[in-house]
Amino acid sequence: MFGHLPLWPENASTNAGSVDALYIFLLLVSGIMTVLIFAVLTAFAVRFRKRRGQRAVQIEGSTHLEITWSIIPFCVMLVFFVWGAVIFFQERTPPQDATEVYTVAKQWMWKFEHKGGQREINELHVPVGRDVKMIMTSQDVIHSFFVPAFRLKQDVVPGRYTTLWFRATKAGTYHLFCSQYCGTQHSGMVGWVTVMEPRDYEAWMSGGAGNQPLAVTGEKLFTELGCVTCHRSDTQGRGPNLVGVFGKPVLLEDGRTVIADENYVRESILEPAAKIVRGFKPVMPTFQGQLSDEQLNALVEYVKSLAGPQSGRPANASGVAVATPQP
């Protein structure tokens, strides 16, 4: 227990350094402020202790001082705000061609599925130096995907996708925690993120026996469930042609335009009446309750694959426009 007193988490992502820098700055400023206040309080308490014959001097106040010690701290706080906001914006803007991994959280385990069909439970293998984007949903209650070494977390919510992206910088094994209380085994819902050198990662990816790529699974479902009868690749279908749709704006019947991201595709399967594409009738049946989250992920991945390799993938699952990400 006493052999090694750890005081700082490991630094294993491009993001971690930025967060640490801001944290250290905050520590410095707060430390100085704390020492200052403690010192002044102590000095005053000693210097102005009660002495025989000396009375307190009544001081009404000073508007100048009040303004000064309001504005200066607020300006310093604005630095904290802007710095933190910049980091946050980078964290919420995944790069365009990040490797995507689907995550389904459930009480009390993490299920990961890579595009190539590799499945993992409570362990996530990723390569060093490559952008990875987690597309996450929960099967039951709210969980949260937290990797301290990356300084990142994101709540995983039932009924929608949330995303988190990172680029790992150091091979190694890092804690994965669920950080949103989710019931009995909340503290048991932990795992490991294993970051591997690219060669080791390729070896691991091809090691599994006959994994079916996620998009292929999705294509099979697309046929089995009858989607293909309406969503034809010609103009005769009762539903929109899905080729090239993903990541692009979609004009809806009510005049709105939305980006066809993961959440849009998911919603279209579970609540088709929510957004009707212009020129089509609201005839699609709902598949709510008929599909597992894994099957939904496969279908989403299939629709994505129809968009071609370098389509305009959206920045994040909530439809925010793409920005050029900073590494």
Partner 1 sequence: MHTSQAAVDEPAHENPALLHHFATEEQQKNAASLGMWVFLAQEVMFFGGMFCAYLVYRYKYFADFGSASQQLDIKLGATNTVVLICSSLTVVLGVRAAQLGKRMALVFWLVATIFLGLVFLGIKADEYAEKFEKHHVPGASFSYHELLPSQEKLPEAERQYADPHHAEMYFSLYFAMTGMHALHMVIGVGLFGFLAYKAWRGKYTPEYYTPIENAGLYWHFVDIVWIYLFPLLYLIDRHR
Partner 2 sequence: MATAVVADTGERENYLNAGHGPKSWLLTVDHKRIALLYLISITFFFFVGGFFALLIRLELLTPAGDLVQSDTYNKLFTMHGQVMVFFFLVPAVPAVLGNFLIPLMIGAKDLAFPRINLLSWYLFIIGGLLMIFTILSGGVDTGWTFYTPLSTEFLKTNVVSAAIGIFFAGFSSILTGLNFIVTIHRMRAPGMTWNRLPLFVWAHYATSIIQVLGTPVVAIALVLVVLERLFHLGIFNPLLGGDPLLFQHLFWFYSHPAVYIMILPGMGIISEIVCCFSRKRIFGYKAMALAVLGIAVIGFLVWAHHMFVAGISVYAALIFSLLSYLVAVPSAIKVFNWTATIYKGSVTYQTPMLYAFGFVGLFTIGGLTGLFLASLGVDVHVHDTYFIIAHFHYIMVGGMVMAYLGGMHFWWPKISGRMYPEGWGKLAALIVFIGFNLTFFPQFILGYMGMPRRYHSYPPEFQILNVLSTAGATILAVGYLLPMVYFMWSMRYGKPAPPNPWNAAGLEWQTHSPPPTFNFDEEPVVTWEAYNYDEMGEIPEKPEKEEVPVAH
Binding to partner 1 in span 265-294, by CB under 8 A: 271, 273-274, 281-283, 286, 288
Assess contact for 196 and 174: CB atoms under 8 A: no
Interface with partner 2 in residues 167-206 (CB under 8 A): 175, 177-188
Provide the minimum distance between the beta carbon of 234 and partner 2 in the complex, in angstroms, as a whole number. Answer: 34
d(CA 10, CA 50): 51
Name the nearest CA neighbour of 319 among 256, 229, 254, 228: 256
Query: What, of partner 1, partner 2, none, does residue 24 touch, CB below 5 to 8 Å by kind?
Result: none
- For partner 2 (CB under 8 A), the number of binding residues is 90
Task: Tell me which residues in 86-105 interact with partner 2 (CB under 8 A).
Answer: 86-89, 91-92
| CB-count exposure of residue 142 (10 Å: 0-12, 13-18, 19+) | middle
Task: Please identify, using beta-carbon distances, which residue of 53 and 279 lies nearer to partner 1.
Answer: 279
Q: Which residues between 103 and 142 bind partner 2 (CB under 8 A)?
A: 107, 140-142
Q: Which is nearer to partner 1, 251 or 283 (CB)?
A: 283
Q: Indicate which of partner 1, partner 2, none lies near residue 58 (CB less than 5 to 8 Å, by partner kind).
A: partner 2
Site for partner 2 (CB under 8 A): which residue of 28, 70, 119, 233? 70
Q: Does 159 bind partner 1 (CB under 8 A)?
A: no
Q: Helix (H, G, I), strand (E, B), or coil: what is residue 311?
A: coil
Q: Could you tell me the smallest distance in angstroms from the CB atom of residue 32 to partner 2?
A: 10
Q: Which two tokens stand for residue 65?
A: 């001082």
Quick one: 260 or 284, whose CB is closer to partner 1? 284
How many C-beta neighbours within 10 Å does residue 133 have? Answer: 21
Q: Which does 281 bind (CB under 5 to 8 A by kind): partner 2, partner 1, none?
A: partner 1
CB of 263 to partner 2, least distance (A): 11
In angstroms, what is the minimal distance from the CB of 282 to partner 1? 5
CA distance 160 to 154: 13
Question: Cβ 275 to partner 2, closest distance in Å?
Answer: 14
Q: Output the DSSP codes for 113-178.
A: EETTS-EEESEEEEETTSEEEEEEEESSS-EEEEEGGGTEEEEE-BTS-EEEEEEB-S-EEEEEEE
Task: Name which of 92, 168, 119 is nearest 297 in CA terms.
Answer: 119
**247 and 259 in contact (C-beta within 8 Å)?**
yes
Using the rule CB under 8 A, give the single segment among 32-40, 109-117, 244-252, 254-262 that binds partner 2. 32-40
Q: Among 111, 115, 130, 160, which residue interacts with partner 2 (rule: CB under 8 A)?
A: 160
Question: Which residues sit opposite 174 in a β-bridge?
Answer: 193
Nearest distance, CB of residue 127 and partner 2, angstroms: 22
Give the tokens for residue 216. 């292929």
Three-state secondary-structure class, residue 197:
coil
Q: How far is the CB of 160 from partner 2 (least distance, A)?
A: 7
Report the site for partner 2 in 251-280 (rule: CB under 8 A).
271
Closest approach of Cβ 138 to partner 2, in Å? 9
Contact between 151 and partner 2 per CB under 8 A? yes
DSSP calls for 86-107: HHHHHHTS--TTPEEEEEEEET
Provide the pairing of β-strand 152-156 with 119-121.
Answer: unpaired
C-beta of 1 vs 209, nearer to partner 2: 1
Binding site for partner 1 (CB under 8 A): 271, 273-274, 281-283, 286, 288
